[in-house]
Amino acid sequence: MRPRILFLDAYDSFSNNITSLLTTLLDADVSVLPIDSPLLLPTTADDFRAKLGKELARYDAVVCGPGPGNPDNEHDVGIMRHVWKLGEEDVLPVLGVCLGFQSLVGSCGGRVRRLRRGLHGMVREIIHRPHQENVEENIFAGVGNFKATLYHSLCGNIGQEEVSEEDWAEARWRSFDGCPDLVPLAWVEEERENGEKERILMAVKHRTKPYWGVQYHPESVCTETEGNKVIVNWFRKAQSWNEVRGRKPVVDGPGLARAATKPSILSQLADVRSGAGQSSSGQWWENFEINPALHSVTVSLPQGVQVPDIVEAVDPDARERIILDSANATSATARADVRGRYSIIAAGLDEALRLEYHTGDVYATTKLRRVRGMPMHLSQQVPISQYGSIWALIAAFQETRHVEAAEAAVTPFIGGFMGYITYEQGFHDIGIGLDQPRQHHRPDVCLSWITKSIVVDHLNEVIHIQHLRSGVSEEDTWLENTTATLLALQSAQRRQSIASQKEAQTMLSPKPRRPSRSISVSTPQTKDYEDKVRICQEYISAGESYELCLTDQTTMSRPLSDEPLVDIGSSFNLPSQQSMHRKQRRSSSVVSGPPPCSWSLFKLLRTRQPAPFASYLRLGAATLVSASPERFLTYDTSGRCSMRPMKGTVRKSEAVSTLQDAEKILHVPKEEAENLMIVDLVRHDLHGICGPGNVTVPDLLKVEEYQSVFQMITVVQGQLPLPTDNQRRYTGLDALAASLPPGSMTGAPKKRSCEIIKEIEGHKERSLYSGVVGYMCATGRGDWSVTIRSLFRWDDEQVMVDMEGEMENHEVWRIGAGGAVTILSTPDGEREEISPQGRIFQVEYAAEAVKQGSVVVGLVSQTHAVLVAIKKVFPIDEHVGIAIAGLTSDARVLSNFMKQQCLGHRLSYNRNMPVKELVGMIGSKAQNNTQHYGKRPYGVGLLIAGVNQDGPHLFEFQPSGMTEEVLAFAIGARSQMARTYLEKHLESFQDSSREELISHGLRALKESLVQDRELSVENTSIGVVGLVKQEKGAAKVEPFKLYDGSEVKEFLDIVSDDKEGAAAEGEAEAETMEVDQ
């Protein structure tokens, strides 16, 4: 019979790592009992002692585990404090670890105090009792030198501070007067800032009882294996103690402890159904697409075609979309760049069954809007009690739609659930209650069962078109139509490549755009966030947490955008993706149309910030745009699981431009400690369902390169237990449910840290941010990313905004950001981490500089583009000019850059640079400044007028790097007045002559002037560029011209005559007006 060990769990996020170490190292069976076990329910002292003694009698030894808090707090240690006080007849061998160790010290008269600075995630040399000293029960006997991981900010004080430096070398191995029952076995001497060494007790033994304790964490991945000998020695001493006294475990009936490995979700489901005698209820959703088979076609991926092109070609009118996009699959930033291989596009979501669950509800909801093209609008509330949990419901649904992996070995996803899980669902899963009421009823779990999908294999450059369906005899029109569409896209792409070389007129026809309304941005207050960091550090110093992942949200309100506002026209006319990011479409055909839709934002983000786990979701009431670089969890059909916790970031800059530069910065104690704490937490999560010895760390503290940052990651892998009973087997869903919320977004220990964060963040919900997005394939595979570097909104969250006296309904977007706060963090450093622009000149301040600049106006007709301004118009090239609002010095930098690009293009190709390409380049340059440390956004806005062979163009450029083509626009101070004029007369611009267009521009400019200021020859600039039609339909570029004094005066006189004529007309009207007396 294998020895039996009881582990007392203080809700630490490393507990499962210890139980795994004990099981594999000692070949023992380990059971787990929470410190707040029902043993502690109100009862008499004698009854409690009897129950505790009976429970402990079942085991050879006890381990009192680590955990958050203070050993002087009964709530934090629970049963532990009673173990040290057992009666003589109930005593058994005990090992305390970290908190358990401190509890032992406190029970023997020692005190627990704060360290001068915490040592969470620090790896230190353990100084243990010399080999030659023959001390009875020394568990360090025969152990060589080793380093171990420390996770504590409190330490045991048994009187070591009172010993002089001269006596310390010998006195440290003797019992101290204040704590005579404890014999020191190991120390760490930590050098502090003043050069003194803080004496930190690392291990003790009780002089007379079989009690030992270690402060360090023997189970940590960074504790050297030589330390394992200490655990082996302890258990050998424990067994020897039992043998001498004839003590053997007494197993009498069921105990209170549970197995160290959680039962599978399918096992829990079987127990619930068995206990309630339940089976299928025959509801419509239970029979949806059961026993499906896969039908698929593979075609080549056309060169230059990327994921958005495919999405828009296949399903341009979809109101719901799910795209999991390996956006950096084709990027070439560096050899070390982490790239995804597959992109997955969900199709036919209007016919997909959707499962929704609002955390805390007693039911989930299944929804279906259409069946085979016919509207249905089916909805069914499913009682959670019939399954035991939302996870068991999901497992039950998947089981009847399982497809053997051998049928689908080509792609990672053939069909199954795709969707999101919020941070709050994971919060609930670890036993933390949510505030009630929550003020909304949004889904925390939202998954669509996808039967139609497109998988892009970027490595092999092929597209897999897949339909997972029941009924093999039916014709698959969707598969045929989609294949035909993608084949047509392939040939269209070839035609487009030829056409684009000749600059043929393949661009979509211009459409009017309403000048942008105000966008309101609310960012975290600097002082408030820094105060929160200090509060976090106070909790850490008090021993309540090792690391706290503090976050906050920036909110942005903007005018409502219709969804989907698909700005694509005919997908087959799109240019190659190589230049796609430079093309910004004109938006709605309605003058008062909405701003760019979320799909446009996603396309811009994926080109500016390509990431291996990017995603776009428009699902139900949620919209998510994400450029996440962090994989949360992936699992395959054999039960292999992999997680990639990501902690430690440095932005690219001139000083940090290579992987070697980044490694020097990131391989420092603070960054490694942040990563290590989450690594050990993730190992704990996987050990809980994979079982002892089934978790490994193949890559530890590895630095990887991304588009704009270097990131430290670790790879943790696990193997789920092999099935003995197929109805109770473990699946990847077990790993997912056991690991939420993502440890990289909580801190450690997870539960206590989440409770603390909830208070510090003011009980605000993180929602989609800090949750996960991904899929559960019908074959049993799955892949999930952490929702970071993202923005999201909910349809039901809107605000009323006063837009110059008119109330407008605005949608609210949220952008989460945060960082891991440790004892080594600095408040200003953490605050800067959540602000990508740094402290110098944030985007909102740059935008403010534009608002303070003098107004500039631009407008375009079929033949000309015009710029008018108060002396702020400048030529760039013969076919391009700009008008600026904001910092002139920044405008000079951008204009010089544009001139260089135009010159270089002409020297290389002997033709003018396409205006859209030029605009895209300055957009990329500006956006790059918002992401790199040591740089700042440009504090200037531009209107760019230019001409190609296809006609004139006008673009707006913003400090964030956003660019958009417009038909008329104004920026700068009081520009709203000018925009009002432009909106009113927009329809007339397209057919206006050059002179008429200039006059309109001047009238709009006049509208923005303060009352005591007039336009004059001295302060007015006019710039014009256009096309002049030649004989036989040809067109010649009319070079950009900056008008001078007499020409400006001519136009000012025209505008002045307008004013005098209007005044005279008003006087005449007044003379004939009858007035009531």
| CA 419 – CA 675 distance, rounded (Å) | 28
Top pLDDT among 723 and 989 is at 989
Helix (H/G/I), strand (E/B), else coil: 552: strand
> ∠15-16-21 over CA atoms, to 5°?
100
Element containing residue 337 per DSSP (H, E): none
Q: Looking at the predicted structure, is the pLDDT value of residue 526 above 90?
A: no
Q: Looking at the predicted structure, is the pLDDT value of residue 131 above 70?
A: no
Top pLDDT among 150 and 193 is at 150
Per-residue confidence (pLDDT) for residue 136, from 0 to 100: 67
Strands 4-9 and 61-64: parallel
Q: Looking at the predicted structure, is the pLDDT value of residue 495 above 60?
A: no
First to last CA, the chain: 114
Q: Looking at the predicted structure, is the pLDDT value of residue 484 above 80?
A: yes
Per-residue confidence (pLDDT) for residue 1060, from 0 to 100: 43
Per-residue confidence (pLDDT) for residue 570, from 0 to 100: 30
Please check whether residue 234 is in contact with residue 212, taking contact to mean a CB–CB distance below 8 angstroms. yes
Q: Looking at the predicted structure, is the pLDDT value of residue 317 above 60?
A: yes
Residues 411-426: what's their mean pLDDT?
A: 96
| CA 542 – CA 153 distance, rounded (Å) | 7
Among the listed residues 997, 983, 897, the one whose alpha carbon sits nearest the alpha carbon of residue 952: 997
Question: How confident is the prediction for the chain on average, in pLDDT?
Answer: 86
Per-residue confidence (pLDDT) for residue 712, from 0 to 100: 93
Q: Looking at the predicted structure, is the pLDDT value of residue 210 above 70?
A: yes
Per-residue confidence (pLDDT) for residue 950, from 0 to 100: 87
Per-residue confidence (pLDDT) for residue 491, from 0 to 100: 65
pLDDT (tens digit per residue) in 889-937: 889 999 999 999 999 999 988 999 999 999 989 988 887 777 655 567 8
User: Would the CATH topology of 4-259 be identical to that of 845-1068?
Assistant: no
Q: What pLDDT band is residue 1077 in, cutting at 50, 70 and 90? A: very low
Among the listed ranges 93-107, 135-149, 502-516, which one has the minimum average pLDDT value? 502-516
Among the listed ranges 348-362, 368-382, 767-781, which one has the minimum average pLDDT value? 368-382
Per-residue confidence (pLDDT) for residue 304, from 0 to 100: 82
Per residue, the 3-state secondary structure of 677-708, as one string, reads: HHHHHHHHHHHHHHCCCCEEEEEEEEEEECCC
Q: Looking at the predicted structure, is the pLDDT value of residue 207 above 90?
A: yes
Q: What pLDDT band is residue 441 in, cutting at 50, 70 and 90? A: very high
pTM over 0.85: no
Q: What pLDDT band is residue 763 in, cutting at 50, 70 and 90? A: very high
Per-residue confidence (pLDDT) for residue 1012, from 0 to 100: 60
Among the listed ranges 275-284, 546-555, 868-877, which one has the minimum average pLDDT value? 275-284
Residues 592-608: what's their mean pLDDT?
A: 75
Domain residue ranges in the chain: 4-259, 845-1068
Longest dimension (CA), the chain: 123
Among the listed residues 603, 646, 601, the one whose alpha carbon sits nearest the alpha carbon of residue 818: 646
Residue found under tokens 């369906």: 469
Per residue, the 3-state secondary structure of 923-961, as one string, reads: HHHHHHHCCCCCCCCCCEEEEEEEEECCEEEEEEECCCC
Q: Which tokens sit at 1076? A: 């009531």
| CA 959 – CA 961 distance, rounded (Å) | 5
Q: 1039: burial class by Cβ within 10 Å (0-12, 13-18, 19+)?
A: middle
pLDDT (tens digit per residue) in 990-1022: 899 999 999 999 999 998 887 667 888 888 999
Task: Determine what percent of the chain is predicted with pLDDT higher than 70.
Answer: 86
Among the listed ranges 385-389, 850-854, 1040-1044, which one has the minimum average pLDDT value? 850-854
Please check whether residue 197 is in contact with residue 189, taking contact to mean a CB–CB distance below 8 angstroms. yes
Per-residue confidence (pLDDT) for residue 352, from 0 to 100: 94
3-state helix, strand, coil split of the chain in percent (to 5) is: 35, 30, 40
| CA 509 – CA 1048 distance, rounded (Å) | 32
pLDDT (tens digit per residue) in 341-371: 899 999 999 999 999 999 999 999 999 988 7
Per-residue confidence (pLDDT) for residue 278, from 0 to 100: 59
Q: Looking at the predicted structure, is the pLDDT value of residue 110 above 90?
A: yes
Per-residue confidence (pLDDT) for residue 928, from 0 to 100: 75
Homologous superfamily in CATH for domain 4-259: Class I glutamine amidotransferase (GATase) domain (3.40.50.880)
CATH 3.60.20.10 fits 845-1068, yes or no: yes
Per-residue confidence (pLDDT) for residue 283, from 0 to 100: 76
Q: 670: burial class by Cβ within 10 Å (0-12, 13-18, 19+)?
A: middle
Residue 302: partners with Cβ closer than 8 Å, 6 or more residues away: 489, 490, 493, 494
pLDDT (tens digit per residue) in 619-634: 999 999 999 988 999 9
Q: Looking at the predicted structure, is the pLDDT value of residue 280 above 60?
A: no
Residues 674-701: what's their mean pLDDT?
A: 96
| CA 327 – CA 610 distance, rounded (Å) | 5
Per-residue confidence (pLDDT) for residue 421, from 0 to 100: 98
Top pLDDT among 583 and 216 is at 216
Of 78-92, 576-590, 998-1012, the range with the highest mean pLDDT is: 78-92
Residues 975-981: what's their mean pLDDT?
A: 89
Per-residue confidence (pLDDT) for residue 1059, from 0 to 100: 53
Task: Determine what percent of the chain is predicted with pLDDT higher than 90.
Answer: 61
Cα radius of gyration (the chain): 34
Per-residue confidence (pLDDT) for residue 44, from 0 to 100: 82
Please check whether residue 548 is in contact with residue 756, taking contact to mean a CB–CB distance below 8 angstroms. yes
Among the listed ranges 14-23, 52-61, 717-726, which one has the minimum average pLDDT value? 717-726
